[in-house]
């Protein structure tokens, strides 16, 4: 199994993370720039604090950076972590198949939801896989059915 790539942050990225932490007073665990959106993976339990009253922190940061933001809370439970990662999209259920196989399956009947999770040319799904694999290295693949 290949190990997840090591992320190297440039000065601009470190400034963005620092600005986020200073504004929200929440520690950033990870950061990604994907599909014209900045993804922040934050420490468990910090979501409400990071969002701010009525989402004020997100709105302010989004305006300052002139980018759309997504804040996702880390969770040591893989099912909850994936749920947080794909939020606001919801799936009917998530199953972690045999650990030997390393396959996580997301089940839902709504074609639109499945399409949004997968994305054009499966780019969203591969992105979610990459993020999940960083924290759960046994996961080899995420499937949507």
Domains and CATH numbers, the chain: 11-73 (3.30.300.20), 90-144 (3.30.300)
In this structure, how many other beta carbons lie within 10 angstroms of the beta carbon of residue 23? Answer: 16
Residue pLDDT, tens place only, 42-99: 999 999 999 999 999 999 999 999 999 999 999 999 999 999 999 999 999 999 987 6
pLDDT of 8 higher than 80: no
Which helix (H) or strand (E) element contains residue 37? strand 37-42
Query: Residue 128: which of 62, 41, 43 has the closest Cα?
Result: 41
For residue 87 the two structure tokens come to 């939020």
Write down the pTM of the prediction: 0.89
Query: How many C-beta neighbours within 10 Å does residue 38 have?
Result: 20
Q: Bridge partners of 73?
A: 42
Structure tokens at 51: 């969002």
Q: Which two tokens stand for residue 67?
A: 């980018």
């Amino acid at each position: 199994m290949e190990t997840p790539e090591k992320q190297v942050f440039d000065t601009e990225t470190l400034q963005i993370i620092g600005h986020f932490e200073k504004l929200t007073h929440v520690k950033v665990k990870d950061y990604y720039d994907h599909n014209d959106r900045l993804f922040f993976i934050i420490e468990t339990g910090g979501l409400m604090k990071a969002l701010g009253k009525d989402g004020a922190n997100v709105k302010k940061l989004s305006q300052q950076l002139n980018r759309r933001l997504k804040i996702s809370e880390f969770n040591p439970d893989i099912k909850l972590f994936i749920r947080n990662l794909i939020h606001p999209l919801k799936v009917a259920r998530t199953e972690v198949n045999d650990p030997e196989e390393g396959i996580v399956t997301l089940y839902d009947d709504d074609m639109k939801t499945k399409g949004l999770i997968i994305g054009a040319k499966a780019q969203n799904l591969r992105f979610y896989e990459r993020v999940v694999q960083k924290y759960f290295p046994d996961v080899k693949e995420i499937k949507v059915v």
